[in-house]
Structure 1
Amino acid sequence: MAKLQYYTAEALEKLKAELHHLKIQGRSDMAKQIAEARDKGDLSENAEYDAAKDAQGLLELKISKLEEVVANARILDESTIDTSKVSIYSIVKIKNIKNGATFSYTIVSEEEADLKTGKISVSSPFGKGLLGKKEGEMAEIQAPAGKMEFEILSITR
């Protein structure tokens, strides 16, 4: 059984738009590629046709997985998020105790995680280490570089 994932309304719409694009445009483009490859002659010795069929299989797999994600997606009402402790969709400002560096991260679902934009997965070591912590508390996180300690400076939405 697939697990439920929580998304913001914006993130779920983005997933639905990608799924729609793959179903309409992606399948259409794939059909054209297969038709072009088929027109090039004997299918038993046509590597282009085999490649197009493989690509079609990968596209259908991606569509299938995305349909499952959308079917199990739930919209999280951000106004109900408790900002007294770290939870999904919290914006957390933390300070590294060792070097004093401060960071700000938004805790999001696995599919929305993007470190470049400051969004970390709720199931990542950092996400797990921060969950449930309150302002002023210390979070000990097992990172690839070893154990790190952070102070929770602020929690917002």
Structure 2
Amino acid sequence: MTQTRDENVTWLTQEAYDRLKGELDHLSGPGRIEIAEKIEAAREEGDLKENGGYHAAKEEQGKMEARILQLTEILRTARVGEAPRTEGVVGPGMTVTVKFDGDEEEVTFLLASREESGSPIDVYSPKSPLGSAINGKAVGETVSYNLPNGKSLGVEIIGAVPYSGM
């Protein structure tokens, strides 16, 4: 999944769209029925104040409803296909190769959202400190970004090509 500069559009591969749609269909159909049955069974056990099964089922229901809302929004703004991209410029949906200051080893990863975490390579979010720093930058550029500990680290962009499913 990638987002273009137009934050209202979420680009998804057909595979990601189908996977997310299947998850939404399950959660909003059989998933809701299963959790309702768990809640009802726990309710029949008696006193709800000290009924761990009831409280666990209600918590699970809340998490499931939050995921349903998240999936609904992702799919509502989804466009299936390949996001427009320029080879050599870092952006969501690109396989990026970088070299960090002080390290000779190159690191390759997919710049995308966690919904594409089924990728065979590491996935970094465009909203992460590294993703934000390199997004829109061209091959050959060196930028620095802030680490969680507050220090700054330089990174050189070695390559940026459209993700091909490696």
Query: Cα offset for 1:128?
Result: 1.4
Unaligned 5+ segments in structure 2 are 1-6
Question: 1:43·1:49 contact (CA, 8 Å) conserved in 2?
Answer: no
From the CA coordinates, give the structure whose radius of gyration is larger: 1
TM-score by length of 1: 0.79
1:141 equivalenced with 2:142 (yes/no): no
The separation in 2 between residues aligned to 1:139 and 1:44, in whole angstroms, is: 56
Task: Go from structure 1 to structure 2 and tell me whether the alpha carbon gap of 1:57 and 1:110 turns closer, same or farther (over 3 Å shift).
Answer: closer
Match of 2:96?
92
Unaligned 5+ segments in structure 1 are none
Q: Secondary structure at the match of 1:6?
A: strand
Question: 1:113·1:120 contact (CA, 8 Å) conserved in 2?
Answer: no
**After superposition, what is the alpha-carbon deviation per residue over 1:78-136, rounded to whole angstroms, capped at 9, x for unaligned?**
5x421031111111111123222210011113544689941111111111111122222
Question: 2:139·2:160 contact (CA, 8 Å) conserved in 1?
Answer: yes
Within-5 A mapping of 1:23-38: 23-38=28-43
The separation in 2 between residues aligned to 1:66 and 1:10, in whole angstroms, is: 15
Q: Secondary structure at the match of 2:96?
A: strand
Query: Cα offset for 1:46?
Result: 6.5
Within-5 A mapping of 1:36-115: 36-40=41-45, 42=46, 47=51, 48-78=53-83, 80-109=84-113, 111-112=115-116
The separation in 1 between residues aligned to 2:80 and 2:54, in whole angstroms, is: 41
Query: Cα offset for 1:140?
Result: 1.7
**After superposition, what is the alpha-carbon deviation per residue over 1:55-84, rounded to whole angstroms, capped at 9, x for unaligned?**
334322322232122212233525x42103
% identical aligned pairs: 29
The separation in 1 between residues aligned to 2:76 and 2:115, in whole angstroms, is: 14
Match of 1:12?
17
Task: Go from structure 1 to structure 2 and tell me whether the alpha carbon gap of 1:36 and 1:72 turns closer, same or farther (over 3 Å shift).
Answer: same
The one-letter code matched in structure 1 to 2:139 is E
Task: Go from structure 1 to structure 2 and tell me whether the alpha carbon gap of 1:101 and 1:45 turns closer, same or farther (over 3 Å shift).
Answer: closer
TM-score by length of 2: 0.75
The separation in 1 between residues aligned to 2:62 and 2:139, in whole angstroms, is: 49
Q: Secondary structure at the match of 1:132?
A: coil
Which has the larger helix fraction?
Answer: 1
